[in-house]
């Protein structure tokens, strides 16, 4: 689905799968779980299947992994 195939200017409902996602309710964007920024569906590249959350970028995804306890807060030196 691209931004011209309906959905207007509203938030989409999405099921996040391994290497893909499924649009449950049409919309033009989702909201980043870490930053609160809107992410156009066409530009969505980062999400968590386990937490069913979208992320605006790799840094937001990394921070979400740390928040969830999947990664240590600091790297050992």
Residue showing tokens 């870490």: 34
Q: What is the pLDDT of residue 1?
A: 47
Q: 15 with 50: CB under 8 angstroms?
A: no
Window from 24-28, 54-58, 65-69, 71-75 with minimum mean pLDDT:
71-75
pLDDT band at 60 (very low <50, low <70, confident <90, very high): very high
User: What does the alpha-carbon distance between residue 77 and residue 31 come to, in Å, rounded to a whole number?
Assistant: 35
Angle at CA of residue 11, ends 38 and 54, nearest 5°? 55
Q: What is the pLDDT of residue 73?
A: 63
**Alpha-carbon 24 to chain mean position:** 14
pLDDT for 6-40, tens place per residue?
A: 567 999 999 999 999 999 999 999 999 999 999 99
Domain spans in the chain, listed from the N-terminal domain onward: 13-67
Nearest to 16 by CA among 7, 24, 8, 26: 24
């Amino acid at each position: 689905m691209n931004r011209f195939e309906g959905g207007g200017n509203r938030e989409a409902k999405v099921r996040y799968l391994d290497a893909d996602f499924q649009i449950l309710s049409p919309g033009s964007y989702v909201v980043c779980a870490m930053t609160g920024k809107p992410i156009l569906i066409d530009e969505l590249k980062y999400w968590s299947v386990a937490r069913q959350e979208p992320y605006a970028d790799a840094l937001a995804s990394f921070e979400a992994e740390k928040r969830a306890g999947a990664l240590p807060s600091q790297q050992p030196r």
